[in-house]
Amino acid sequence: MPGIHIIRVAVTVSLKVPETVLEQRLVASPAVVGEELARQVQAYVRREHMGYYPPLDFFKDREGAIEAELMDTAQGIAWFVTNLVRSEVLHRLRAAFSSVVVEDVRLQAFTMPTARPTQPNALHELARHYTPDVARLSLLVSSIERRPDVEGVDRLAAHKVQRWLERDFQQVEVTSAQLT
């Protein structure tokens, strides 16, 4: 049946902002902030005999767990990175899709770390996790198609997102793509 169909795909993507971009625009180095956050969190976890590393939000109301200035710096970098990523993604993907909606942006640093205190490289992994340079986005992209067949459109959308963003980000990982 001929006609025009609007096909929507929900895409989740993880993006790492290049260090050079952040160095040009920020006073504090995200890597240094991530390392110091990891060091202070590890000290707190050991002192409290915890078996896991909590997300950074856990420490907002815990007096003395993390230096207030360090947390403020991390939040400032997070604000900058989420706005930069949102803007760049919308700018880049508008040429690839008829519609792009950023439904959610979360910085990896404020999510639950996968590293555990008993791991051999725990501090290194924790520093990498807490470095505020990786954002996870939930997108809703739409394409106008002439064919009613939607088989493989989710894979095509994921490939387009990957291809259109990989030039501007250090790392691009599409973690899911589903027709809506």
How confident is the model over 114-131, as a mean pLDDT?
95
pLDDT band at residue 1, thresholds of 50, 70 and 90? very low
Q: What is the pTM of this model?
A: 0.88
Please determine, for residue 80, whether its predicted confidence score (pLDDT) is greater than 90: yes
pLDDT band at residue 148, thresholds of 50, 70 and 90? low
pLDDT (0 to 100) of residue 145? 78
Max distance between CA atoms of the chain, in angstroms, equals 67
Q: Looking at the 3D structure of the chain, how many domains does it have?
A: 1
Torsion of CA 89, 95, 101, 106, to 10 degrees: -10
How confident is the model over 64-90, as a mean pLDDT?
95
Q: Give 173's strand partners.
A: 14
pLDDT band at residue 5, thresholds of 50, 70 and 90? confident
Tell me how far apart the alpha carbons of residues 160 and 164 are, in angstroms, rounded to a whole number.
6
pLDDT band at residue 151, thresholds of 50, 70 and 90? confident
pLDDT band at residue 14, thresholds of 50, 70 and 90? very high
Residue range(s) defining the domain that contains residue 69 = 5-179
Nearest to 12 by CA among 141, 132, 138: 138
Residue keyed to tokens 């493989």? 152
Tell me how far apart the alpha carbons of residues 92 and 73 are, in angstroms, rounded to a whole number.
28
* pLDDT tens per residue, range 27-75: 899 999 999 999 999 999 999 999 999 999 999 888 888 999 999 999 9
Mean pLDDT, the chain, integer: 93
